[in-house]
Amino acid sequence: MIKLKYIAATAGVGVLASLAVITPAFVQQRSIAEAVANTASTTATTVTAPVPAPAVTHGHPTHIGVPSLGISLGVIDGQYNAADGSWTLSDTQAMFGTMTPEPNDTTGNTFIYGHATNRVFGRLPQLKTGSEIAIHTSNGLRFVYTLRSSVVVSPTDTSVLAATQKPTLTLQTCTGLWSENRHIFTFDFTRVEKL
């Protein structure tokens, strides 16, 4: 009877000793696993703040000046009438195509057009590559552009109004014996100044 109690007691001590060795290892493994899970969970739910969009300097066009040609004109809003294919026009002012972006320092193709008369855009064909022009805006800014190129296209060629990555200015007037074509002038944005 004593032997059995001794064996049982010894066995119990052995089991407890085994548990004393195994339990810390198990607890340690469990703690590591929980730490990894918590880190993964924290990493997965971390939200980075969005990068703010760059500030865009822009303004509604009110005046165009071409110093090299002595052109100084008011600019008013112009619209395209899809029903009859016509554009609003003025005999004394340039027209801003309101379906295009306002002059700005970031992106887009600003479109301004006018009659091929001496009072409006009749002298534009005399412009040389590299010539500067300026657009004044209603919020007291002056956007300066440099002529990159000019081309004559048919009235149905709308590629001149295509969006652009860089800020661009497109001027248009008529050309040809019967004003049957369009003379397009493409300008690159140079700088913006306060008036």
In percent, the amount of the chain with pLDDT more than 70 equals: 74
Phi then psi for residue 100, to 5 deg, are: -110, 165
pTM of the model: 0.73
Which residue carries 């303004």 as its tokens? 59
Residue 106: what residue type? T
Shortest CA distance to 168 belongs to which of 154, 157, 184, 152?
184
The answer, yes or no, to whether residue 12 has pLDDT greater than 60, is no
Evaluate if residue 145 carries a pLDDT over 70: yes
The answer to whether the beta carbons of residues 117 and 175 sit under 8 Å apart is: no
Query: What's the pLDDT tens digit per position in 62-114?
Result: 999 999 999 999 999 999 888 888 899 999 999 999 999 999 999 999 999 99
Q: Tell me the one-letter amino acid at 3.
A: K
> What tokens appear for 39 in the block?
């880190």
Predicted confidence band of residue 21 (pLDDT cuts 50, 70, 90) = very low
Percent pLDDT > 90 in the chain is 63
User: Dihedral sign, CA of 141, 131, 90, 110?
Assistant: negative
